[in-house]
Amino acid sequence: MDRSPADTRTATPGSLDQRDRLGQLEEARRATTGSRFWRRLRSERKALVGAFFVACLIIVAMVGPVIAPHDPDADDFMLFESPSMDHPFGTDSFGRDLFSRIVVGARTSVTIGFAAAAVAMVIGVALGLVAGYYGGWIDTVISRCIDLLWAFPVIILTVGLVAVFGAGARNVVIAIAIAYIDDFARVVRAKVLSLREEDYTLAARAVGASDRRIMFRHILPNSAAPIIVQATFAVGLGILAESGLSFLGLGVNPTTPTWGLSLNEGRDFVRQAWWISVFPGLAIMFTVLALNLFGDGLRDALDVRSVGDA
């Protein structure tokens, strides 16, 4: 477990030198843990495969419009053209090149997935940290609110929030983020509950460190592993949720090409043009698969058991 033992024994309350020494030892320990982590991550084949695909995806999301062979909105091709050299994924019911739409659509899906995971992480981590650290009535109130969020299946909560606040990228990100706050809060709270009794936390308190300092300098860095793993899974889940909302017609702007929207458009033509339904779904599946592989590898490399399956 994450301990810094010897440093705590000689500490006397309020001594600045000893606080510095505590900090140095903590940093030295973190550096060792860091190099061990990289070694273990490099030996996790699934993490490397996942990381490679995620990196490719991020590049495609960034340069999508540049590398797309055709304008994703140009409807100047034959309708329902089956996959060919010119149109690797065929054309859709409006005569648009599906490959270009999927390449450009990566940006929306990836951006929303990452943004929703980031927002959920910031709020969830803050709630879990405060609940776990302070305990008592603060923990009770936060935990009951988290229970409440958990009672709503993700798609129901996101659909409900989008129904109230309206569709659009910002609202979709907020809705998905709210739905995943509880995952982060639970993971962090559980970790903080164990860390607040660790020797180094008690030592930091003994030398007079403030609650804020203990939380952000000692507890939060040591909770990083489960947070990182949870965040990786959350990006994948966010992408799945976004595609679900777009599929229901409740996603981002209907003129923006997204994978979920392409699937929605292909659903009505499944008999005459299978490719419109198959390729956007494959794009979603491989993206989430890569993130899950990466998350699973990270979980093994960081030896985190508290984070559940995606």
Partner 1 sequence: MTQYILRRLIHAVFIVWGCATLVFVLIRLIPGDPVIQMLGAEYSPEAAAALNRKLGLDQPIYVQYVRWFGSVLRGDLGGSISSGESVVGALKSGLPKTLSLTLLSFLIATVIAVPAGILAALKRNTAVDYAVSVIAFIGVSMPSFWFGIILILLFAVRLGWLPAIGYASLTEDGLWAWFSHLLLPSLAIGAGYAAILMRFIRAGLLEVLGSDYIRTARAKGLAERRVLVRHALRNSLIPVVTIAGIQLALLLSGAVVIEIVFSIRGLGRILVGAIFDKDYPIVQGAILLVAIIFVLANLVVDIIYTFLDPRITYG
SS3 at position 91: strand
Cβ of residue 83: shortest distance to partner 1, in angstroms? 15
Distance CA 54, CA 114 (A): 12
Cβ of residue 33: shortest distance to partner 1, in angstroms? 25
Among residues 214 and 276, whose Cβ is nearest to partner 1? 276
Among residues 206 and 278, whose Cβ is nearest to partner 1? 278
Distance CA 218, CA 211 (A): 10
Contact 268, 80 (CB under 8 A): no
Among residues 11 and 261, whose Cβ is nearest to partner 1? 261
Cβ of residue 207: shortest distance to partner 1, in angstroms? 34
Distance CA 250, CA 260 (A): 10
Distance CA 140, CA 19 (A): 32
Among residues 20 and 268, whose Cβ is nearest to partner 1? 268
Among residues 240 and 307, whose Cβ is nearest to partner 1? 240
List of residues contacting partner 1 (CB under 8 A): 144, 147-148, 151-156, 159-166, 236, 240, 243-244, 247-250, 263, 266-267, 270-271, 274, 277-278, 280-281, 284-286, 288-289, 292-293, 296, 308-310
Contact 172, 245 (CB under 8 A): yes
Q: Which residue stretches of the chain are H helix?
A: 6-9, 16-43, 45-67, 98-134, 136-150, 154-165, 169-195, 199-206, 211-213, 220-222, 224-247, 259-267, 274-302
Cβ of residue 286: shortest distance to partner 1, in angstroms? 8
Cβ of residue 53: shortest distance to partner 1, in angstroms? 11
